[in-house]
A and B are shown apart, each in its own frame.
Chain A
Amino acid sequence: MNEVTPVEATAVSAVDPSCARAPVGMLCELTHRCPLQCPYCSNPTDLERVATELTTAEWQDVMRQAGELGILQVHLSGGEPTVRKDLEDILDAAVKAGLYTNLITAGVTLGRERMMKLAEIGLDHVQLSIQDVDSDNADRISAYKGGLAKKIEVSQWAKEAGMALTINAPIHRQNILNVPRMIEFAIECGAGRIEIAHVQYYAWALLNRSTLMPTRESFMTAAKQVEQAREKYKGIIVIDMVVPDYYAKFPKPCMGGWAKQILNVTPSGRVLPCHAAESITHLQFDNVKDRRLADIWLNGDAFNKYRGTEWMQEPCRSCPRKEVDFGGCRCQAFALTGNATNTDPACSLSPLHEEWAKVAEVESHSTPPEFVYRRVGAAKVTVGGT
């Protein structure tokens, strides 16, 4: 699964989240199974097994509860959500619950007939990930042969069925030179949107950081290319960019603020404020099998822990940006400082920032090691080895 951009405040005027107690979006990891093995996958390194996955009826109930809670958009994700043979039934429940539906897929498992079926049930938006526009490099990154050709087909079926199409392109050292070509590719596919999603360094991407981290210079070049493309292709394609926070001055407003806009349901039904939240080892997560979604959202410990700004320490506590970026990412703060209430080291005001930013500088200029591919068990072998 790639990063999902939180529903954000761009637009005519976007929904003011403070008026809305309900989350705007729900990310459902229907499964962690996936035929690809992208080394930056944002699934946890400890992948959930098929035997623990929620049943069809349980997922359908999650969709109904989401509708009642006032959630607006659901992202059907994974792993690869289409490996679930009951995707149609889950989607159907989501559509009937009045949710705006988005399928986040790598595409390689889809056929034309199934795409048409999904459209008929009411799928609104297909978000198709690519690994690169250079087919051989894409194969190498995903450890999967011939993916790109398949993705091109999928993009055309999505268009044929009248669904919205986004190309999601995770960007890193191994493909950053192709950013302009990726944008052109998305246009040729007929996509309405492309996400130039610089990899965020959690989970698998953290394991592979030194292989994936681009240099500051190549990042700046790519950012400029995106700026130029936005001018050139205005009204033709929307280009969204997720910035790598190693090269930013202030952190991103992670998830639009903890427990403010988005919730995430794992394959086994655990409800998280963000897909990486399980890395904060002292948090306890509720499961949809034990508790109603609304109750978890409003009263669950993990949600209330870092909701709002009360939990903050200095320098965030007295910072004018605290309602803008909410102190950055709790998971990153925890991973790097041992305390999730600290300022995210991605912030230039964090005492750890300089040391942290240097990591990117050093790693991006060193010889990249081999990928640790995303597969069950792979992380354990390698952690500690490096």
Chain B
Amino acid sequence: MEHVTTIFAGNLQEKNDDKHIGCGECQTSCQSACKTSCTVANQICEQNQ
């Protein structure tokens, strides 16, 4: 496409299926590095490990 370069096609809705919906095994976000804020997008999904 002349006017658009897609960096990432998007897959958030795929992360909304039965396998992925909140199994809760992943890390608690505030614990990982900061202890003063929560950032979630850099967390790892245990189902994809």
Say if A and B assemble together. Answer: no
State the B residues within 8 Å of A (CB): none
